[in-house]
Amino acid sequence: MLADRKGSVLAMHLIFDLLAALSAMTMTVLVWRWRLTDASQALTRGGAGYAAALVVGAALGGFGLGSLNLYLSGEAAAGRSIVGALAGAILAIEIFKAARGMKGSTGIIFAPAFATSVAVGRWGCFLSGLEDFTHGTVTALPWGHDYGDGLLRHPVQLYESFAMALFLAVMLWALARRSPLFMRHGFYLMVIWYAAQRFAWEFLKPYGPIIGPLNIFHLTAGALILYAAAMIVRSEHARTRT
């Protein structure tokens, strides 16, 4: 019975992981053809090394931080983390760009895709139940969800899905208007939005704290906000000097 349950959870997650990946790729192609053809030039300069850094960084960050969080929460298992994958990918790309002498933001082409993948993929986490360990804490609010044990919990996966769907809608609207702000800083704005909403939802999760009420994902999200804000400030400062 337990094996059947675990098998169904893995199958559900796999289905939505594939849907998220397919949706993200489709969104990337559509937005690239629509508004971001110029953005691909920077990626072309990076070549295969850029793609390798992106994939390796995301994998190390995602599995590393996800597993560390489970360990700190008393769960001896391998885990995956979206915020960890984002942080790992950013770190790897920044190191690669510094080594290659690449300047400026290269991430805007990935912003709609990332928002899409989270908006779709988090439904897989939600439908996977308690075993996925992405559920929220117990709540008395009327929209609390019973994941199978009779207790109502915050459906934090859906909070995150809706938040990123909202950002995606705003970003598409901004791209349609060719907003200079989004064209320059779309990726960094996405990072700030994702990290800020993730920071908030972490207070509603049963993860082990490491500093006061803050868990490892709080700290990662906070670091991402500081990084993205600093990059925007640096870019705008350099722009005003030219």
Residues 6+ away with beta carbon under 8 Å from 125: 13, 16, 132, 134, 157
* Angstrom distance (rounded) from CA 62 to CA 81: 5
C-alpha triplet 28, 103, 228: angle, nearest 5°:
65
**Token code pair at residue 102:** 């690449």
* Angstrom distance (rounded) from CA 185 to CA 242: 18
* Angstrom distance (rounded) from CA 63 to CA 126: 19
CB-based burial of residue 6 (10 Å sphere; 0-12 exposed, 13-18 middle, 19+ buried)? Answer: exposed
* Angstrom distance (rounded) from CA 13 to CA 38: 35
* Angstrom distance (rounded) from CA 90 to CA 84: 10
pLDDT at site 186? 92
The upper half-sphere exposure of residue 75, i.e. CA atoms within 13 Å in the direction of its Cβ, equals 18
Residues 6+ away with beta carbon under 8 Å from 242: none
Look up residue 40 and give its amino acid: S
pLDDT at site 18? 93
**Token code pair at residue 37:** 């053809």
What does pTM read for this prediction? 0.91
**Token code pair at residue 162:** 């809706």
Taking only the tens of pLDDT, the chain with its 242 residues reads 445 555 666 777 789 889 999 999 999 999 988 888 777 676 777 788 889 999 999 999 999 999 998 888 887 777 889 999 999 999 999 999 999 888 888 888 899 999 999 999 999 999 988 887 889 999 999 999 999 899 999 999 999 999 999 999 999 999 999 898 888 899 999 999 999 999 999 999 999 999 999 999 999 999 999 999 999 999 888 777 76
pLDDT at site 242? 60
pLDDT at site 218? 97
**Token code pair at residue 178:** 């060719």
pLDDT at site 74? 82
Nearest to 113 by CA among 220, 176, 187: 187
**Token code pair at residue 39:** 């953005």
Ordered by start, the domain boundaries in the chain are 2-47+108-241
